[in-house]
């Protein structure tokens, strides 16, 4: 097969699909969902309304939104067998691994696969949006040795999640800020986890496998795992005075500074700007956090030293500080990201099904040909094997 274009590691800049779900202008720091600016959605929408917009393609009417919210509320509980399965998970396991296992397990319980039936699609969308937060909260309580608590019908999506997680009804400002965080993380074009969801979807497998594969991809430290790493990094830096030596050391070792840099954004990520504003609002209302002073100094030093390379804070830089103030444990930051991103993954799953062709890229082979098989008795060591192979390779 002939190669259509040059190879680019990480497929940088190579279109993998055509999509009308979201748009990023990395030079000017613009993000839009279905054409609506993220600033506007953060200001005026809710996460569930935004999820509807992403998945069904337009803003809902009042009745449509009510119905969607009601369906989600109705499906928030977990089957007792899923809870029993979770009881067998080791408490020391990472919550992203627990979430991936639970998302995949949904496929066992809802095994009918009818991808051309709109009712099936709707049910899968509702179930995944409804149950993923309950799974994250249940794992948190169970690993502490407690029983998970049931969702409360009088609480909205975000307030209910914080309630199930902390066993306390959250302050309305905290619930609102968390909801905005979900909106900001809901979708972001063809990033690694979305691409993974699309590849899985393209085989026409069930939506639970699609979401499980995306959760596994999001878990890595170069993707959704970075917000957790940011807090560990701020902990390691420890003080404002240590910021410059820390950055110097990273530059010397050529190691990455977590929460900075982006494949697409070459300016500050617009979501980081909104999250920083929300972090400040949280500190004003609920007390300051000295990690924020370290973060602000870090942003300034990185901008001075690496700004010319387009390295600025990404979405993960300030989100951890907001979650920390909300009392969310550090290793739940990525599962919280997953709760939000399920909306985007589902939107891409639906879009993929509309015009599906299985993903099957090509490769540039860099190996050799016609290598003789070396009999086992001649392979006493790796060196022998290579020598023998070299001797008789034409």
Positions in the binding site for ligand ACO (CB under 6 A): 10, 191, 222-224, 226, 256-263, 306, 309, 311, 314-316
Angle at 31 between CA 25 and CA 36, to 5 degrees: 125
For the bound state, the minimum distance from the C-beta of residue 217 to ligand ACO, rounded and expressed in Å, comes to 10
CB 216 within 8 A of CB 101: no
For the annotated catalytic residues, the residue numbers are 262, 316
For the bound state, the minimum distance from the C-beta of residue 215 to ligand ACO, rounded and expressed in Å, comes to 14
**Which residues of 19-175 form beta strands (DSSP E)?**
22-25, 30-33, 36-37
Q: Is the dihedral of CA 156, 157, 159, 163 positive or negative?
A: positive
Nearer to ligand ACO, 152 or 256 (CB): 256
Angle at 218 between CA 120 and CA 278, to 5 degrees: 100
For the bound state, the minimum distance from the C-beta of residue 166 to ligand ACO, rounded and expressed in Å, comes to 25
Tell me how far apart the terminal alpha carbons of the chain are, to the nearest angstrom. 25
Q: Is 23 helix (H, G, I), strand (E, B) or coil?
A: strand
Nearer to ligand ACO, 126 or 322 (CB): 322
For the bound state, the minimum distance from the C-beta of residue 310 to ligand ACO, rounded and expressed in Å, comes to 8
What's the number of CA atoms in the CB half-sphere (13 Å) around residue 36?
20
* Closest C-alpha to 227, from 192, 169, 275: 275
Nearer to ligand ACO, 21 or 175 (CB): 21
Nearer to ligand ACO, 96 or 138 (CB): 96
């Amino acid at each position: 097969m002939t190669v259509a274009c040059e190879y680019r590691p990480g497929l940088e800049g190579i279109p993998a699909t055509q999509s009308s779900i979201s748009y990023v202008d990395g030079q000017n720091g613009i993000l839009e969902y279905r054409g609506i600016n993220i600033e506007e959605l953060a200001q005026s929408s809710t996460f569930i309304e935004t999820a509807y917009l992403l998945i069904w393609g337009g803003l809902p009417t009042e009745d449509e939104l009510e119905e969607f919210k009601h369906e989600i509320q109705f499906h928030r509980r977990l089957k007792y067998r899923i809870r029993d399965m979770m009881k067998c998970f080791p408490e020391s396991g990472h919550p992203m691994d627990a979430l991936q296992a639970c998302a995949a397990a949904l496929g066992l319980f809802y095994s009918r696969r009818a991808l051309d039936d709109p009712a099936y699609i709707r049910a899968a969308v509702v179930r995944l949006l409804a149950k993923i937060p309950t799974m994250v909260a249940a794992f948190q309580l169970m690993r502490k040795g407690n029983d998970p608590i049931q969702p409360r019908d009088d609480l909205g999506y975000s307030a209910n999640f914080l309630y199930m997680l902390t066993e306390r009804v959250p302050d309305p400002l905290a619930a609102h800020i968390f909801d905005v965080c979900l909106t900001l993380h809901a979708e972001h074009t063809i990033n690694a986890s979305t691409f993974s969801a699309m590849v899985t979807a393209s085989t026409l497998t069930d939506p639970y496998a699609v979401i499980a594969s995306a959760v596994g991809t999001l878990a890595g430290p170069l993707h959704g795992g970075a917000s957790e790493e940011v807090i560990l990094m701020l902990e390691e830096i420890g003080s404002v005075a240590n910021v410059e030596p820390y950055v110097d050391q990273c530059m010397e070792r050529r190691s990455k500074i977590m929460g900075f840099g982006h494949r697409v954004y070459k300016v500050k990520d617009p979501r980081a700007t909104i999250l920083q504003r929300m972090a400040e609002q949280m500190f004003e209302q609920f007390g300051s956090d000295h990690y924020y002073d370290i973060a602000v100094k870090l942003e300034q030093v990185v901008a001075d030293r690496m700004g010319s390379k387009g390295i600025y804070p990404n979405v993960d830089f300030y989100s951890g500080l907001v979650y920390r103030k909300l009392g969310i444990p550090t290793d739940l930051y990525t599962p919280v990201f997953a709760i939000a991103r399920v909306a985007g993954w589902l939107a891409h799953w639906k879009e993929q099904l509309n015009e599906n062709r299985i993903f099957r890229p090509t490769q540039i082979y860099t190996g050799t040909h016609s290598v003789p098989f070396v009999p086992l008795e001649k392979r006493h060591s790796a060196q022998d094997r290579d020598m023998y192979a070299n001797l008789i390779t034409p």
